[in-house]
Structure 1
Amino acid sequence: MASIRSVQVSAPGAGLRIVERDLPEPGPGQVRVTVEACGICHSDSAFVAGVFPGLTFPLTPGHEIAGRIDAMGPDVQGWREGDRVAVGWFGGYCCRALSG
């Protein structure tokens, strides 16, 4: 199977390291993106430290990326391989009503 290089942390507070992983295939309605740029922010340092509940290690920090679609799963519409994309992070909201 083809592989990719990924930066990951193996346990809360452990150092970052580059590892080889199997190249995942996208599932239905999913695309796979070759990452060309990745933002690392304060939230990522909290992930690495393991302070958010429910984290599963190992994990790869960096949740704001830009790149190109390199594979598509079934039932993907409106996208093509080679399209440039950017993905931001939505971590939830506080459930307060927004005032106008």
Structure 2
Amino acid sequence: MFTSGTLREYRHKYRRVNIHAIKNWGCQILKGLAYLHCHDPPVIHRDLKCDNIFVNGHLGQVKIGDLGLATILCGSHHAHSVIGTPEFMDQNYTK
């Protein structure tokens, strides 16, 4: 159970977060993405943002959630549609 809600909620509640916690969360997020991308075929999240990262502040764990826009990368090394939250997308894709 993730007691602290999303990463966005956690940051609003706790304005100052220890740099070691931030580094730990970053490593966990990268490991989660690597896990998804290492499947055969790879799973692409496509909507990674603070609202989709869930925090257990007590244990220092984060989990990637909301895979509703995720896709499986088949056949090529590129997704064929541009999808996600515009505020968090590369500007090259939002033009």
Q: TM-score range by the shorter chain?
A: under 0.3
Q: Between Structure 1 and Structure 2, whose CA radius of gyration is higher? A: 1
Q: Could you say which structure has the greater relative contact order, defined with CA pairs below 8 angstroms and 6 or more residues apart?
A: 2
- Which is helix-richer, 1 or 2? 2
TM-score under structure 2 length normalisation: 0.24
